[in-house]
Structures are given as C-alpha cells and as structure tokens.
Amino acid sequence: MLKTKKLKRIWINGNRRNKIAIKTARKAVKLLQSRNVTLGVDGSFFRFRNKIELGEADAVLVFGGDGSLLHAVRGMKKQLPVLGINCGKFGALMAVDAEGIESRLARIVDGKYSVEKRSRLSIRADNGKELLGLNEVLLGPLEFGKIMRFELFVDGKKRFYEESDGLIIATTSGSSGHCYSAYGKRLDARERKFSVVSLNSFARRVKPFVVSDRVKIGARLHDKGQMLVDGKVWRTVKRMLKVEKARESALFIKAKR
C-alpha cells in the first residue's frame, strides 16, 4: 500500500450518458467545494469552470461503471490514484456505491483511505506500438468461427502448441471477468500474477494456468489473428503477440470503514 494524504486537488470524470452518474457527481462537487477542494471536471462529462488540469490532481473520481473507470485510466499520461463510484449495473472495479457517497467521500478527502497498486499489461503486436491494458488482452482468429493455431512462450521458453478459439491473458483486475467465465483462475487483487486461458481448447490439452506478472508471455501465430484490449482497443496480429507487466501500475483508492 502507498502512503496517503489529504486530498486537496481532485479531477472528476464519468459516464455522460448515465443520469445517476451526473447527479451523484454534482452532489460530490458541492461537498468537495464546501471543503475547499480545488476541482476540475472532464469536459466530456459535464461543463464546469475548472481550477486545475488532470495532471495537477491528487486523485481522480470516476462516476459510472467499469467501462468508465477503464476509459479514465487509459486516458492518463501518468497514473493517479482513482476512486470508482459505481452508478451502474457492473461495478467490479468500483470501490464505493453512489448511495451515501457524501459520508464516504468526506472521509476519503480527510486521508482515510488506502491506495492499492494493480498491475497493467504492456502489449505489442508484431513489435508495433505499445498498448496498455488494465484488465485483459483477448487474442483470436481473424475470421469468426475458425480455429486459431499458435505457440505460447513464457520467458522465451515454449510452453505449448495449441489449437483453440483464442487466448486470454488477464491481470488480477480482469481475472474476475471474461477470463473467469472461461474457467480461468480468479485472482486476489493483492496477488502479483496473470491468469491465462486458452479458449475452448480443441483437444482439451491445455488447462487454464497462472504465472507471475514478472514473466514475459509471447504467442506466435500460424495464421493472421486479431486482439482486443480491455474490450475497447482492437488491432490485427500478423505473427507475434508480446505481453508483459507495464512499467506503471494503476492506483486504486480503497475507502476505509
């Protein structure tokens, strides 16, 4: 856990299509202003006369669901502590619920919180530009319904040859989502590991497994494929996918009781 401090400068982001998120965020703004916190709001969320820019904030509040939090983390040049306020149906990554946010937020502003590091993925297709993922990377065939043939390497050593519907490499944050539904190992947030799943293994040779997040994972494709990072960013993979732990972790604020 990282050292915490009172929050004096806060950036606010969220899902503009979610009425509950906007309503809850406006409540939070009133509370924070009453406590002399300097604020800035992302222009895509709602209009506000900003006093700071994102890079000047001590922390970021995200109102919405998991998708909103993933978007916010992806948009940071430098990772800041993030508090997710769940205003939707899916909030596995969110720390608190919208109901009763005023009392929880007051305590957090006063420094009564902890900051948890979450590993992110550094992903490269065919030695191209680095992409960063908080949850997972999904590798699949270029054409729907076709079997994907590939070899998987861990720290340069071949682990197996596989024929399946694809491959998921998930962080602790992503292990409770798509990975878990495909019978992958659900990891505790405090673990420094990746969960790896071959989807619908053709001969059921390969079982889901877990590796340290310090290893480098490579998949060499026999046919052109495609990847999807955190369900949002899509790229073609011609030959090789490389995945390792990103240099900078995501920082999640956890409210103390």
Residues marked as catalytic: 66
Q: Tell me, rounded to whole angstroms, the distance of Cα 129 from its chain centroid.
A: 19
Non-local (6+) Cβ contacts of 225 within 8 A are 139, 140, 141, 142, 148, 150, 166, 236, 237, 241
**Edge-to-edge order in the sheet of strand 217-221:** 131-133, 121-125, 240-245, 217-221, 148-154, 157-164
Written as one string, the DSSP assignment of the chain is: -B------EEEEEE-TT-HHHHHHHHHHHHHHHHTT-EEEE-TTT-----SS-GGG-SEEEEEE-HHHHHHHHHT-SS--EEEEEE-SS--TT-SEESTTHHHHHHHHHTT-EEEEEE--EEEEETT---EEESSEEEEEESSTTPPEEEEEEETTEEEEEEEESEEEEE-TTTTTTHHHHTTPPPPPTT--EEEEEEET-TTS----EEEETTS-EEEEESS-EEEEETTTEEEEESSEEEEEE-SS-EEEEEE--
